[in-house]
């Protein structure tokens, strides 16, 4: 079964309202609201494009400090400049007792910022499903556990990172958090309320071709790098990329193409960047690309995060012990950038909303799913921790 159906991708919002909520007001908030929709709207009112997450970080840190129910110790881990930071919250002082189960999602969003609006069924705007809706649901799930299952809650933490949408800098930095070594990781992304069985891997390459400049009216005077690049790209599109009934297809997107210096000249240089969604392995797809290119272009694999490879293998994910719907995630997450993810007892990928509307002008999250996600996170955490220990 594959996620992300195309149902109701573009509902028409009615009763739309805008409620500005500045970072300054957010900082003054005494505690997070009890309602997940209200919490989401506060988060969405603070722009947090990748690289500019500082104000949203301020809000989360202030809210976690002020929340009298959560009673969490909050660690702000700097990631670069301009106030960028991961937010790590635990029930015991950082480094003393590491949480066994961590709820994780990301603070950053894809630009441009889109103010929220709402109707009776949905909340619209940037980050509604990817991934501020997930952050809001996880905070309130943790609060519920503290209130109703305090013994379990002692083993629960929150980790909200920056940079997930680009170079995964936040999760890479989180590897150095004192005592950060959970046994279970629950990652919040929009999966239409289905538990993912697999997160596809990634392979990112840039192909660079060199030609010879010359007057385009005289074929013998030069050689077009663009023409040479197009031949390579055709061979890539003609390749039979791996297909798998269980895990889905390996797919690709030629995301950018650039080249040439003038309309009346043979292109001296040309390049294209390609993103493969992998179901076999990063090494397999990389080797296929090298075979196809066969020396006709320079292959740049430097699109990786912070000097890491420009890709990762697929991640086989855990499933809950209770009845659930499942699907495949054709998008990348921070999971492979947690250095110890292969030693986790369980890693789950789940959340409200659909990835198919993320990053676009009509991004939204269904309110019913958002509310249900809080309960589902509580149910998952309880099922894991009660199964493992007698509380």
DSSP string, 340-383: TGGG-SEEEEE-SSBGGGTTSTT-EEEHHHHHHHHHHHHHHHHH
Catalytic, 164? Answer: yes
In angstroms, the CA 167 to CA 174 distance is 13
Q: How far apart are CA 382 and CA 152, in angstroms?
A: 7
The residue written with tokens 């997107």 in the block is 253
* Distance, CA of 282 to CA of 58 (rounded, Å): 37
Q: Name the one residue in this structure whose structure tokens are 């790098």.
A: 225
Distance CA 348, CA 317 (A): 6
CB of 365 closer than 8 Å to CB of 123: yes
Q: How many residues does the chain have?
A: 391
Name which of 31, 28, 26 is nearest 41 in CA terms. Answer: 26
The 3-state DSSP class for residue 191 equals strand
Which of helix, strand or coil describes residue 257? strand
Pairing of strands 73-78, 85-90: antiparallel
| Tokens 């950018």, residue located | 256
**Do 214 and 377 contact (CB within 8 A), yes or no?**
no
Catalytic residue among 81, 118, 121, 164: 164
Burial class (CB in 10 A: 0-12, 13-18, 19+), 31: middle
Q: Find the angle CA(97)-CA(159)-CA(368) to the nearest 5 degrees.
A: 125
Q: What share of the chain is helix, strand, coil (3-state, %, to 5)?
A: 30, 25, 45
Q: Strands 184-188 and 101-106, how do they pair?
A: parallel
For the annotated catalytic residues, the residue numbers are 164
């Amino acid at each position: 079964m594959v996620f992300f159906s195309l149902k109701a991708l573009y509902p028409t919002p009615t009763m739309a309202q805008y409620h500005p909520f500045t970072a300054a007001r957010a900082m003054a908030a005494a505690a997070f609201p009890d309602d997940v929709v209200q919490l989401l709207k506060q988060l969405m009112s603070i722009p947090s494009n990748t690289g500019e997450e500082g104000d949203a970080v301020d809000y989360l840190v202030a809210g976690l400090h002020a929340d009298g129910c959560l009673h969490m110790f909050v660690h702000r881990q700097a990631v670069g400049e301009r106030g960028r930071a991961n937010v790590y919250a635990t029930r015991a002082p950082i480094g003393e007792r590491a949480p066994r189960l961590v709820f994780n999602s990301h603070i950053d969003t894809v630009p441009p910022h889109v103010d929220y609006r709402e109707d009776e069924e949905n909340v619209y705007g940037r980050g509604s499903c990817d991934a501020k809706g997930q952050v809001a649901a996880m905070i309130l799930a943790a609060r519920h556990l503290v209130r109703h299952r305090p013994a379990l809650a002692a083993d629960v933490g929150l980790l909200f990172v920056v940079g997930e949408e680009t170079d995964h800098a936040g999760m890479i930095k989180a590897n150095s958090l004192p005592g950060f070594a959970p046994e279970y990781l629950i990652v919040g992304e929009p999966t239409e309320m289905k538990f993912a069985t697999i997160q596809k891997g990634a392979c990112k390459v840039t192909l660079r071709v060199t030609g010879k400049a010359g007057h385009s009216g005289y074929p013998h005077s030069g050689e077009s790098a663009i023409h040479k690049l197009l031949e390579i790209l055709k061979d890539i599109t003609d390749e039979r990329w791996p297909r798998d009934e269980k895990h889905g297809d390996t797919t690709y997107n030629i995301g950018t193409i650039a080249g040439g210096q003038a309309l009346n000249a043979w292109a001296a240089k040309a390049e294209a960047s390609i993103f493969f969604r992998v179901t076999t392995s990063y090494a397999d797809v990389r080797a296929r690309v090298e075979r196809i290119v066969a020396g006709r272009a320079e292959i740049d694999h430097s699109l990786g995060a912070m000097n890491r490879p420009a890709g990762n293998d697929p991640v086989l994910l855990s499933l809950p012990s209770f009845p659930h719907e499942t699907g495949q995630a054709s998008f990348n997450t921070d999971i492979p950038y947690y250095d110890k993810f292969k030693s986790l007892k369980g890693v789950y990928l789940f959340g409200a909303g659909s990835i198919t509307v993320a990053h676009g002008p009509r991004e939204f999250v269904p309110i019913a799913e958002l509310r249900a996600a809080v309960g589902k996170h509580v149910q998952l955490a309880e099922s894991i921790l009660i199964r493992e220990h007698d509380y």
